[in-house]
Every structure is written in C-alpha cells, then in structure tokens.
A and B are shown apart, each in its own frame.
Chain A
Amino acid sequence: MAIETNTILICAGGACISSGEESCLSALKKHISHYSLEKVVKIVETGCMGMCDAGPLMMIYPEGVFYKKLRVEDMERVVKEHILKGRVIEDLLLEAPKSEGKILSPMDHHPFYTRQIKIATKNMGVINPLSIDEYIAHDGYFALQKVLQEMKPDEVIDTLKKSGLRGRGGAGFPTGLKWELTRKEVGDKKYVICNADEGDPGAFMDRSILEGDPHTIIEAVTIAGYAIGSNKGFVYVRAEYPLAIERLREGIRQAKSYGLLGEDIMGTGFSFDIEIRIGAGAFVCGEETALIESIEGKRGHPRVKPPFPSQAGLWMSPSLNNNVETYANIPSIIRNGADWFAQYGTETSKGTKVFALAGKIKNTGLVEVPMGISLRDLVFEVGGGIPNNKEFKAVQAGGPSGGCIPNHMLDTPIDYESLKKIGAMMGSGGLVFMDEDTCMVDIAKYFLEFTVDESCGKCTPCREGTKILYQMLDKITNGEGQPGDIEKLEELCRFIMETSLCGLGQSAPQPVLSTIRYFRHEYEAHIDRHECVAKVCRPLIRYVVIGEKCVGCTACARVCPVDAIEGAPKKVHEIDPEICTRCGSCIEVCRFDAIVKESP
C-alpha cells in the first residue's frame, strides 16, 4: 500500500493563474513523477487563497507550510528539499510584518489571515472547487438538506431575517425582507437570480467565490428557490470570467449527478434547475433591472422602478435577485443559526464583508473581515500598510459609485451606515488605495471616464451629465479651470444624482463630490494656481534638472524619446519644457536624483 505523505494545495485562483500557477503546476508534476512520488504526494488545485500579491501560492501538508511567489525553477527544490528531505525552503516563506523573520504557516500567524473571519469565503483556498465531495466534507449541502427536509419556507426566511444579513452587492437591503417580499407575491412562476456581474474596477470577490467555491452558490440559490417558491434560477456571470463559468458549470453537473439539483431533490419532490447566463460585460447590467432585461435577451437597459423585481422581474414574474457574496453567507447561516451569524459585526451591519484590496497597498488580495473593523486596521494590519514608505492618502470605497475616504477618517468603522455618513459607500467591496502620489482630481476624472463609457444612454442626466462632468474635470486637470467651476461641478453632481433613472447615474457623481468634499484644496490649487499637488497632471508639471546634483552622465538625454534634453558629457543638462512630453523616463534612469517634478 502506498502511503500518502504529503498533500500540496496550489492556488488556482485567477490572480495566481495569471502569475504562472499553471506552468509551476506542470513543473511540479514533472519533478514529482521524476522521483516516482505520484502515489504518495497528492496535488490539489484550490480556489483563491487571498494573498494575490504574493502568488503563485502553495501550501504543503501535513505541516501546513506556505510558500509564496513561486517560479517554475523553484519546483525542483520543493520536491527535492521539502518533500524528499523534509526541509523547509526558507526563501520561499512569507516575511512577517515589521521584519520579525519568516512565517511558516501564515494562516495562524500573519495578521493578513489572523484578523479575518471567514464565512462567505470559508472554503476558498481550502477545497478543490471541482470536487463536490470536498465541499460535502466541509459541511456542504447540509444546509440544503436541513431546509428541504426539516424547515418550512417561512422558517428559512425567518432565520435570515433574524441573522441581520444585508445585501452585499452594495445597497445593503435586508436579505430576509427581500426573500419575504418575493415569497408573498402571487405568481405561477417565480425566479431566483444570482448577480455575478461584478464590474467595479478593482473588485474581484464575486469572481473568486465562484472560482473557489461554486457549490456554495449552487446550494444557496437552491435554498432561495425553496424559500420563495421557485423552480428556476439564473446565475448571471460576465463573459470576462471564463474560469468562474467553467467551474460553476462543472459544479452544477456534479450537484445534478448527486441528486442535489434538478428533479425531485433528495427525494423531497422539490425540483430546481440553475442556468448560467453570460453577460457581455456592460457595467450597467450589474443594476438589477438591466440585468433582468439582459437575461431576457434584450439590450441591458434599466427599467423604471416600481414595479420592483420582487413584484415584476424576469418576464414580469416575481424575481429574487441577490449578489454572489450574499448567497455565499446563506448555507453557513442555515447550518449554524441566526444568532451565530449575528455575533459578528455591528448593531446594524451583521456578519462579515469580503474586500478586494487593490492599488497602493502591500498585501493586495482578498480578505473577509468582521463588519465594524476600522479602516485603519484594514489598511495597516491586514493590508500591511502602504508600500515604498509612502504616506496613505485616501481609499476609494465602492468603486465608481462610491467615494473616497481620507486619512483623517481612518478610524471610521466599516459598516453600511458609517460609510454612507462620510460620503462613501460599502459598494461591492472593492477598495482602491491611494498614496501621496495620487492626484484626487485625476482620480475623479478616471472614475468619470469609466461611467461615461458605461452609461447605457437611456436617460439624459446620466448620458449627458456624466460627459459634461468629465469635460469639466478634464479642463481643470489641463489647467484651464475657472473660478466657480467647483460650485458648478457640485450643482451638476446633485442634479445628476436626483434625476437619473438607475443606480448607475444616481451614484456616478459620488467620486467627484467626495473628492471635492475632502480634497477641495487640490481642486482650488489646480484652478487658481495651476498647481497639481501630487504632480500627476501632465499639463501642470515640469521636469527640471537640479544643477548641483547633475554630474552630466548623459543617461537622461539618451533615454528621452523626444530629444528634449540638452547637455554635453560632464556638464549640467537642461530640459526644454516646450519639447518635453512629461513621460518621466529621465527620472527613472537618473541615478543621482538630479531630476525633479515641479508644479506649477
């Protein structure tokens, strides 16, 4: 009998795949078979392990040793040293924060993991997403069994209401109430929808859940079907998520073969089917009524509300729509009870929230933290702080629909109400971090560019308004702003928010309003003094050689793509601002810190 001596989990989340997981895996398999270890070493591809910045990631059991930033070349050492000789490979271990040495198993010791409480993502990075057995081993489908064989639909809804779960897609509507409203509607056909049309720049939690634990969503959507009295569910995923679609499809196939989905589930007489609908990737289709139109095969345009989807949704039938992360919480709530879930979080925001950390932060990746955690802890403990010794400036919460949160508000607890109060929003959970080198006017312009592109064009305030907002911001960043522009921006923002048809337009001006609210001085500097404080906006900055530091090495002159730099060897160089395109190549090559940006 061959004895299994090791299990190797290798992260096959989207980020690790794109940083080379697949070639590492095939190299690993090659070395394993070179030493004839196929029978004693089990290799499992899992979903996202969270620390995307350090990928590709690997975890080797029984010790639970965690290796980061793997390269194909490292695989031979992993097999020869770790597997054969039991020696830990020091240089592949994770560094402890504050340089306290290396960490063997970060799940127990690194604040990135120890501060997390995993409910929606509990199986992610732990099980093989393509194995229903592993899902069942982690209590999968026990919630469905309990619901179908031991609970009435009203009891399910009651449990959800008591748990305090609110929609994780952004708006935070109480989930139990939504289920109850849809259940109460009369109709011979009802539908369950799972919104996996994740579109915020920098957000990837829904994708990771679908990729890492597809059965959770299948189980939860089926439970929803039973609770509201529906036999048909749709998961609306965007086409940019091919891996999520593939794994979900395989999950559906497995669940059907076990009799946990399809006709007469678990012999209870309840039948439910799930269909995947692939969206073309329009941002507006994340808005529930536009999403419904899209599933119906029409162009993704929002509808006028009311009637709400719970009254007249898909094909005008009562429809329940929840976000991926909302669903991912439900099996655990059913199994462990409402009180268990409600022990986490704050008075009004129960449970946990998954955040995607992106931008200027050390540990970019995916984390699930209890509601109410302060932004400061999230940035500096879990996120590891700002890289390159830069200052934290702000974080954009909620993507293009949300607002920025500045440094002095870092102690704000993260929950729906607190974020709303300071002009940001929970959103789907994308957090984009910015350091001192970020220009806040430029950031607002960036998000507006996004909404201008993504506005569906159905209603005028959003279609025309966002475009005018963008043009005004563009003028300001070009140094052509006029006194009074800030007030005009604010007025237009309010107008768009009050008169737009759907959530896209109603929230699109948020980035502008919140940057004006907290960084008005930057707008004023752009307009009054033509100064970009962060030295980002090209028309407002100049590159200048500091005479005392320049040794005349000619490196800058050689790299300049437009020959804007004059100077003989060993003589101080000079940059002609008329020719210079502000590309920044010269700063990068200068080894003497002799070139600086100036504004104005």
Chain B
Amino acid sequence: MAVAKVKSLEELMKIKEKAVKDLQMRDTQKKGKVVVAMGTCGIAAGAKDTLQAVVSELSQKNINDIAVVQSGCMGLCDVEPTIEVILENQDPIVYGHVTPQQVRRIVEQHIIEGKVVSDLMIRKGEL
C-alpha cells in the first residue's frame, strides 16, 4: 500500500489526530466514567444494547473524556439494565431500567449539562 508522503505540519497533524482517536482508550486521565453492569442479569435485561448505546452516543457527540467500563452485577438485578455515571468531584449516580432511549437522555442531561436525571436515578453516592 502506498502511503502519501508527509510534507507539512498540517499533514502530520492529520495523522496525529486520527491516531490519537485510536489511542483514546489508553488515556486514563478522563473526567469520568460510565459503568455498565454486565452481569448475567444485566445482559438478560438488555445491557448489551445499553452498552452499545452508551458508546455510540458518546462518540456521536464527540465526548472523549468519559471512559466506558463494564462491571459485574452490582446487586440491583431487579432494575437492570443499570449504569453508573461517575463524574469528577460528584457523587456517583446509579440509573436503573436504562434502555438505549434513556441513554440518550442521560448523556445529554447528566454528562453534558451536569443535571441528574432524577426519574431514572436509583442511588446516589458510594455504596
């Protein structure tokens, strides 16, 4: 495969931007994270779709400083799928019954605007 030769700062920047995107996963200096519970109970309740929705929603809105992490069952099997939103200097919030539609609301209201989506909230603070 022939690669275009790099001739300028701009072209070098372009390669960098593309490569940085591929390396985002390795940046642990993030503002926060979304934990998706992927226990058997969660997966049975649709957590895989929820996870998919979280990742695509974040990437569509160009949000790069939030890590998406999977966890085991957090013990709230009744309200699965559950996700936990942990932002810097804020109490972690656990949301229950999170469908892909709800994911959009959580990303827009909580992660972007910083307002807790109270009707979906199950728990506030550390366990």
Interface positions of A (Cβ within 8 A of B): 1, 3-7, 9, 42, 61-64, 84-87, 105, 107-108, 126-127, 133-134, 136-137, 139, 141-142, 145, 149, 257-260, 266-267
Q: Is B118 an interface residue (CB 8 A)?
A: no
Please name all residues of chain A whose beta carbon is closer than 8 Å to the beta carbon of B9 when the two chains form the complex: 142, 145, 149
B2: nearest chain-A partner, CB-CB: A257
Whether A3 pairs with B69 at a CB distance below 8 angstroms is no
A7: nearest chain-B partner, CB-CB: B25
The verdict on A6 contacting B25 (CB below 8 Å), with A62-B33, A63-B67, A133-B15 known, is: yes
Q: Which of A86, A108, A134, A257 has the most CB of B within 10 A?
A: A86
11 extra A-B contacts, CB within 8 A, seeds A62-B28, A142-B16: A4-B25, A42-B25, A87-B72, A108-B28, A136-B16, A136-B19, A137-B20, A141-B6, A145-B8, A149-B9, A257-B3
Please name all residues of chain B whose beta carbon is closer than 8 Å to the beta carbon of A84 when the two chains form the complex: 38
Please name all residues of chain B whose beta carbon is closer than 8 Å to the beta carbon of A142 when the two chains form the complex: 9, 12, 16
Nearest-Cβ distance from residue A577 to partner chain B, whole angstroms: 61
Whether B28 pairs with A137 at a CB distance below 8 angstroms is no
Interface positions of B (Cβ within 8 A of A): 2-3, 5-9, 12, 15-16, 18-20, 22-23, 25-26, 28, 30, 33, 35, 38-39, 51-52, 55-56, 67-72
Nearest-Cβ distance from residue B7 to partner chain A, whole angstroms: 4
Please name all residues of chain A whose beta carbon is closer than 8 Å to the beta carbon of B15 when the two chains form the complex: 133, 136, 258
In the docked arrangement, what's the CA distance between A179 and B91, Å? 56
Please name all residues of chain A whose beta carbon is closer than 8 Å to the beta carbon of B68 when the two chains form the complex: 3, 5, 62
Please name all residues of chain B whose beta carbon is closer than 8 Å to the beta carbon of A260 when the two chains form the complex: 6
B14: nearest chain-A partner, CB-CB: A136
Whether A85 pairs with B28 at a CB distance below 8 angstroms is no
Whether A63 pairs with B69 at a CB distance below 8 angstroms is yes
Whether A266 pairs with B8 at a CB distance below 8 angstroms is yes
In the docked arrangement, what's the CA distance between A332 and B71, Å? 38
Whether A85 pairs with B16 at a CB distance below 8 angstroms is no
The verdict on A1 contacting B56 (CB below 8 Å), with A145-B9, A260-B6 known, is: yes
In the docked arrangement, what's the CA distance between A85 and B26, Å? 20
In the docked arrangement, what's the CA distance between A585 and B8, Å? 67
Whether A85 pairs with B38 at a CB distance below 8 angstroms is yes
A-B contact pairs, 16 of them (CB 8 A): A3-B51, A61-B26, A61-B28, A62-B25, A86-B71, A133-B22, A134-B19, A136-B12, A141-B6, A149-B8, A257-B2, A258-B3, A258-B15, A260-B6, A266-B6, A267-B7
In the docked arrangement, what's the CA distance between A137 and B70, Å? 26
Nearest-Cβ distance from residue A351 to partner chain B, whole angstroms: 24
- Chain B contact residues: over half helix, strand or loop, or mixed? mixed
Q: Top 4 closest A-B pairs, CB basis? A: A259-B5, A137-B19, A62-B67, A86-B71
In the docked arrangement, what's the CA distance between A258 and B70, Å? 38
Please name all residues of chain A whose beta carbon is closer than 8 Å to the beta carbon of B25 when the two chains form the complex: 4, 6-7, 42, 61-62
The verdict on A258 contacting B33 (CB below 8 Å), with A6-B25, A136-B15 known, is: no
Please name all residues of chain B whose beta carbon is closer than 8 Å to the beta carbon of A149 when the two chains form the complex: 8-9
In the docked arrangement, what's the CA distance between A107 and B29, Å? 12
Nearest-Cβ distance from residue B56 to partner chain A, whole angstroms: 7
Please name all residues of chain A whose beta carbon is closer than 8 Å to the beta carbon of B5 when the two chains form the complex: 258-259, 266-267
Whether A86 pairs with B26 at a CB distance below 8 angstroms is no
Whether B18 pairs with A133 at a CB distance below 8 angstroms is yes
Whether B12 pairs with A86 at a CB distance below 8 angstroms is no
In the docked arrangement, what's the CA distance between A5 and B38, Å? 12
Nearest-Cβ distance from residue B28 to partner chain A, whole angstroms: 4
Nearest-Cβ distance from residue A31 to partner chain B, whole angstroms: 17
B5: nearest chain-A partner, CB-CB: A259
B17: nearest chain-A partner, CB-CB: A137
Q: Which of A62, A64, A260 has the most CB of B within 10 A?
A: A62
Whether A63 pairs with B6 at a CB distance below 8 angstroms is no
Whether A86 pairs with B7 at a CB distance below 8 angstroms is no
B66: nearest chain-A partner, CB-CB: A62
In the docked arrangement, what's the CA distance between A260 and B71, Å? 43
The contact of A64 among B6, B8, B19, B28, by CB within 8 Å, is B28
The contact of B12 among A6, A63, A145, by CB within 8 Å, is A145
In the docked arrangement, what's the CA distance between A5 and B34, Å? 12
In the docked arrangement, what's the CA distance between A474 and B115, Å? 78
Please name all residues of chain A whose beta carbon is closer than 8 Å to the beta carbon of B55 when the two chains form the complex: 3, 5
In the docked arrangement, what's the CA distance between A61 and B39, Å? 19
The contact of A259 among B6, B22, B23, B33, by CB within 8 Å, is B6
Q: Which of A137, A145, A266, A267 has the most CB of B within 10 A?
A: A137
Please name all residues of chain A whose beta carbon is closer than 8 Å to the beta carbon of B20 when the two chains form the complex: 137
In the docked arrangement, what's the CA distance between A356 and B3, Å? 38
Nearest-Cβ distance from residue A6 to partner chain B, whole angstroms: 7
Q: Which of B3, B12, B26, B70 has the most CB of A within 10 A?
A: B26
Whether B70 pairs with A86 at a CB distance below 8 angstroms is yes
The contact of A133 among B19, B56, B67, B71, by CB within 8 Å, is B19
In the docked arrangement, what's the CA distance between A108 and B30, Å? 14
In the docked arrangement, what's the CA distance between A237 and B26, Å? 31
Nearest-Cβ distance from residue B41 to partner chain A, whole angstroms: 12
Whether B12 pairs with A141 at a CB distance below 8 angstroms is yes
Please name all residues of chain B whose beta carbon is closer than 8 Å to the beta carbon of A1 when the two chains form the complex: 56
Whether A86 pairs with B52 at a CB distance below 8 angstroms is no
